[in-house]
Every structure is written in structure tokens, then in C-alpha cells.
Amino acid sequence: MGKSELRRLAGALKHFLSEQDEDEFITTPAADATPASAAGVSRPANPKAMQEGSTLTIDFRRQTAPAATSNTTPMMTTAQKQAALAELAQTIKVCSRCALGATRLNAVPGEGNVDADVMFVGEGPGYDEDRQGRPFVGRAGQLLDKMIVAMGLTREQVFIANIAKCHPMVDPQHPEKHGNDRAPNAGEIACCRKFLEQQIAIVCPKYIVALGGVSAKALISDAKSLGALRGQFYNLNLDSVQLPRPVQILATFHPAALLRNPNWKKDAWKDLQMVMAQLGLKGPAK
């Protein structure tokens, strides 16, 4: 790598690291992460530092086998993708397959460029997303926007979705409360899985960035910790559809975790750079 390339990457890293915010989801600080291991997989010094997924004691591995080849979704035209996603969004908006359908204000199907090379998948809508019906519009979303820009992309160029489409609340009796967010449970994830799989098959991005442990475990179908899953690409296999072309998935930190632990941003940046390298992205234009 030449000096100018190094300078440009350093500039993009500085830009990314310069943004530090509080996040309304987060109430307790967590421990630091260690630098990347020789294998390129970053692990926390203290395994409990990966608290972002630590409330998850559930094994998210899927029970069903990946889809049969006969169920292959064809690669669609842009117009076909838009129509298919719009129809799917309508189905999601009236879904009541799990209890979250009764307490949500708005379902949050996802949004973005139907021809995106990169799809980001979070865990589930929070307070702001529930109100607006759009993914990642709160403080974590503002950081996600910055991560996207640091990669040399814009929000309009990517697709953003969630594992769960409705707001999982700690106290569903009080949707007006702040700090009432929780990760979706295994049943909720299972109910929404088909929706996400259809979105992925329709958009068929080249890369999916799984944001956080819930998303990574659900999509990579592995109960390993986020720390163990990070640092390498996986071939995505879906339950309900066979993808029209291979899709690679990479796990990184959830932006809400980065707001809580800004020192993890360096490792998140390394993850994003792996995708950038594959796509020939050079970071933001100067």
C-alpha cells in the first residue's frame, strides 16, 4: 500500500473515530476490547466485554436445513425488486405473527437502494424507529450513517434492514418510555426470518454487514460470540430461498455498542475496511 493510500485511510479512520456520542439505549459502560489477534479476529480481553450480545443466552442456530436449489430466487430487475420489496413491506406492516405486532407503533420493514452492493442488518427497531417506521434513525442510526460515509458510500446507496421488524420492548405496556428496548428473542427472530430472507434474496447484495451479535448469530447461524464471528467473511445460506448469486456476510459491532464503547471503533473500522477492500471502495472523497 502506497503512502498516499495510507494517508487517505488514516484520514478516513480519523473522521470515523472523531464522532463520539451518547446512546440512549445504553446505561452501563463495558470493558475494553483487545487489539486484533494474529488470525485477524478481534477478541475482548474480558469475554464479558462483548456485552452487546451478552444478554443472549439463546442459541439462535436455525433448526431447518438451507433452502433446496429448486427454490432459487431469480435475479430481478430494479423495477421488479422495487415492486417485490414494496409488496413485502405491506405484508410486514400488518404482520401479527408474534406478540410484537400488538405493541409496535409502526413496523420497520427496512429501506434503501434495491440494487445495493452492501446491506446492513441490525437487530430490531428501537424507540425512534418505532415512531418513524424507518430503520436506524435514532442515535445509533446517526453513527451508522457515519460508518457508511467513512466507507465511501451514502445511506442512499445501501440497504438497511433488521432481524426483527417490530420494536422489542422490555415493558410493552409503556411504549412511550425511553430505554425500553431489548434484543428480539428467538421466537421473534424466527417469526421475522422469512421476511429478512426475502429482502436479502430480492436485493441480493454482494455483502451483508451484520451489526452486532444478535444479527451475526442469526444470519451466520452460529452460536459463537460476536468476537469469535468477526474478522472473516461467511457464505450466507438462507432457510427459505436459494440466493441468485453468492452473498458474503461479515459481522461487526452494533453502532449502539460503539457509542457505548468508542474504543471498539478501531476494530469496527477494520471490519468495514474488509468490505471496502472487496468492493474497491476508497473512503469518503476529500
HEC letters along the chain: CCHHHHHHHHHHHHHHHCCCCCCCCCCCCCCCEEEECCCCCEEECCHHHCHHHCCCCCCCCCCCCCCCHHHECCCCCHHHHHHHHHHHHHHHHCCCCCCHHHHCCCCCCCEECCCCCEEEEECCCCHHHHHHCCCCCCHHHHHHHHHHHHCCCCHHHCEEEECCCCCCECCCCCCCCCCCECCCCHHHHHHHHHHHHHHHHHHCCCEEEEECHHHHHHHHCCCCCHHHHCCCCEECCCCCCECCCCCEEEEECCHHHHHHCHHHHHHHHHHHHHHHHHHCCCCCCC
C-beta closer to ligand URA: residue 13 or 107: 107
Number of residues in contact with ligand URA under rule CB under 6 A: 13
Cβ-closest residue to ligand URA? 122
Subset of 247-266 contacting ligand URA (CB under 6 A): 256
Give yes or no for residue 140 binding ligand URA (CB under 6 A): yes
Give yes or no for residue 124 binding ligand URA (CB under 6 A): yes
| Among the residue ranges 53-61, 68-76, 112-120, 137-145, the one whose residues contact ligand URA (CB under 6 A) | 137-145
Give yes or no for residue 126 binding ligand URA (CB under 6 A): yes
Subset of 67-106 contacting ligand URA (CB under 6 A): none
- Cα 44 from Cα 101, distance rounded (Å): 36
* Integer Rg of the chain from CA: 18
C-beta closer to ligand URA: residue 13 or 257: 257
Give yes or no for residue 123 binding ligand URA (CB under 6 A): yes
| Among the residue ranges 12-20, 44-52, 57-65, 128-136, the one whose residues contact ligand URA (CB under 6 A) | 128-136
| Among the residue ranges 15-23, 138-146, 148-156, 185-193, the one whose residues contact ligand URA (CB under 6 A) | 138-146
C-beta closer to ligand URA: residue 13 or 229: 229
Minimal distance in Å, beta carbon 186 to ligand URA? 16
C-beta closer to ligand URA: residue 33 or 143: 143
- Alpha-carbon separation of residue 151 from 246, 278, 281 (angstroms): 22, 12, 7
Rule CB under 6 A: choose which of 111, 129, 188, 197 binds ligand URA: 129
Cross-strand pairs, 72: 242
Give yes or no for residue 125 binding ligand URA (CB under 6 A): yes
C-beta closer to ligand URA: residue 73 or 162: 162
Please choose, from the candidates 61, 100, 50, the residue with its C-alpha nearest in 3D space to the C-alpha of residue 213.
50
Minimal distance in Å, beta carbon 67 to ligand URA? 25
Minimal distance in Å, beta carbon 29 to ligand URA? 19
Q: Are strands 234-235 and 248-252 parallel, antiparallel or unpaired?
A: antiparallel
C-beta closer to ligand URA: residue 140 or 219: 140
Subset of 158-197 contacting ligand URA (CB under 6 A): 162
| Among the residue ranges 38-46, 55-63, 132-140, 190-198, the one whose residues contact ligand URA (CB under 6 A) | 132-140
Angle, CA 186 vertex, CA 175 and CA 133 arms, to 5°: 40
Contacting positions for ligand URA (CB under 6 A): 122-126, 129, 135-136, 138, 140-141, 162, 256
